[in-house]
Amino acid sequence: TGSSDPYCIVKIDDEAIIRTATVWKTLSPFWGEEYELQLQPGFHSISIYVMDEDALSRDDIIGKVCITRDMLAEHPKGYSGWMSLSEVDPDEEVQGEIHLRVQVLGSQGSRRLLCSVLEAR
């Protein structure tokens, strides 16, 4: 039909933590969802998967972005901006980007992640 039913899954070290709402029949979804999560001291990365919901078969992975602990350390006030999606399956071509805001709050002992999944295109 030329459109998707996108939603996002946020994973910390490959553990699914958040699922956004599905935005029906669009290639430019707006979520505007904000989450605050407790971070384990030794976490390695945050991955955001953009998915296409499919009622008749398994949901498709459109693409993903990965933000490492080192990348967050380079942006002590947080990262905000558009990030290009990368492929999950090497045989699939991926186009698109997602607009995120990610910030680590607190001290080493009790760090929290403030994550805003804004929109995609």
Class of domain 6-120: mainly beta
Who wins on pLDDT, 15 or 91?
Answer: 15
pTM, to two decimals: 0.93
CA 90, chain centre distance (Å):
19
Q: Give per-residue pLDDT as tens, 23-48.
A: 999 999 999 999 999 888 889 999 99
Residues 75 and 96 sit within 8 Å (Cβ to Cβ): no
Strand partners for 100: 81, 117
Which amino acid is present at 6?
P
Structural domain boundaries in the chain? 6-120
